Amino acid sequence: MRVMEIEIKNILTSWESSLVRYGKIDSWNYSENLTTLGRYLRSNESTLEEHYLIKYIRDSIIGVNFNVKSVLKAIQKLMNLEAVKEKELTSMLVKMDGNRVVLNGQDVRFKKETEKIFKEKLKFKKGMLLRNFDIETEAPHDSKKVRRIVEKRMCQAYHRMHKKDEGYKTSNREKYWMDRATAFQLYNIGQKEKARNTRRGESTHWKWKKDPITHELVLKKKMGYKNEEAAQKAIAQWQINHPYDSREITAYKCNYCNKWHIGHRSKFLNHPSIDSMIPQMQACC
């Protein structure tokens, strides 16, 4: 059982949102995306059903007038197939090896906590949703409070998950994983919602992402690095993880939070025809 390449998934996700929002395919990276799908189809890495669906989507999109509804349906069907596969694979991995921490991604392990935290409201911020709180830019005093709330939730979750494990106690090792879990959630939060008509703009503090709970496209804060060196390291790592992505990535200092971010150099200026579209819909970096 293979999981679909992240690159393919990103293309399908971005086409899905573009079809939902505009009823057409975003011309951003259009030909590269078609090439990538073609390569994937030739590689025989998919099941017959997936192959059929991807081929249908690609062939439709190449045509001038395609049926938006049925292409959308095909994309959503593929995504559902993929979600089931991932779920099965995750539970399989856990069974195969008793090592509870390393094998499962944080996003899978703490999915429930993410859901809870995402619904939580902050009383001291007039009921603001916790998920909209950006610890990079809010007042330090408030950021500290939010940090403490998240830490508490994640420690409780970690404890709940592992208290029945043999020899479980709150040792340094446990503390390390709790800190990791907290950092993960603090990275998760900080997004602007109902941002549909907003331009992300050139090199900013945000990127487009699908909210895991509402499935809305939101502007989510990018990972912040403390200096240029750290950002360059992140670029090197990103390139290792995305060998097929030849787009140029740069590091830049953010005027909004004063930290460093990385991102694809926008090709927006070279594509005046997509002026009505949002330049970078793929959730990148």
46 or 188, CB closer to Zn ion? 188
Q: How far is the CB of 279 from Zn ion (least distance, A)?
A: 18
Q: How far is the CB of 136 from Zn ion (least distance, A)?
A: 6
C-alpha–C-alpha distance, residues 235 and 250, integer Å: 8
135 or 254, CB closer to Zn ion? 254
Quote the tokens at residue 39: 């390569």
93 or 183, CB closer to Zn ion? 183
Around 118, how many Cα atoms within 13 Å sit in the side-chain half-sphere?
A: 16
Q: What are phi and psi of 184, to 5 degrees?
A: -60, -45
C-alpha–C-alpha distance, residues 134 and 119, integer Å: 15
Q: What are phi and psi of 102, to 5 degrees?
A: -75, -40
Quote the tokens at residue 76: 């959503």
Q: How far is the CB of 222 from Zn ion (least distance, A)?
A: 6
186 or 254, CB closer to Zn ion? 254
177 or 256, CB closer to Zn ion? 256
Q: Which residue is nearest to Zn ion (CB)?
A: 254
Coil, helix or strand for 264? strand
Q: How far is the CB of 261 from Zn ion (least distance, A)?
A: 6
Contacts with Zn ion by CB under 5 A lie at 205, 254, 256-257
Q: How far is the CB of 201 from Zn ion (least distance, A)?
A: 12
192 or 271, CB closer to Zn ion? 192
Contact 282, 209 (CB under 8 A): no
Coil, helix or strand for 129? strand
C-alpha–C-alpha distance, residues 271 and 33, integer Å: 16
Residue type, 244: Y
CB atoms within 10 A of CB 206: 22
Q: What are phi and psi of 191, to 5 degrees?
A: -145, 155
12 or 254, CB closer to Zn ion? 254
Helix, strand, coil shares of the chain as percentages rounded to 5? 55, 10, 35
Q: Residue 126 — left, alpha, or beta (φ > 0 → left; ψ -120 to 50 → alpha)? A: left
Q: How far is the CB of 204 from Zn ion (least distance, A)?
A: 7
Q: How far is the CB of 260 from Zn ion (least distance, A)?
A: 8
Q: How far is the CB of 106 from Zn ion (least distance, A)?
A: 22
> Minimal CA–CA distance to 58: which of 33, 80, 78, 76?
33
Contact 238, 250 (CB under 8 A): no
94 or 223, CB closer to Zn ion? 223
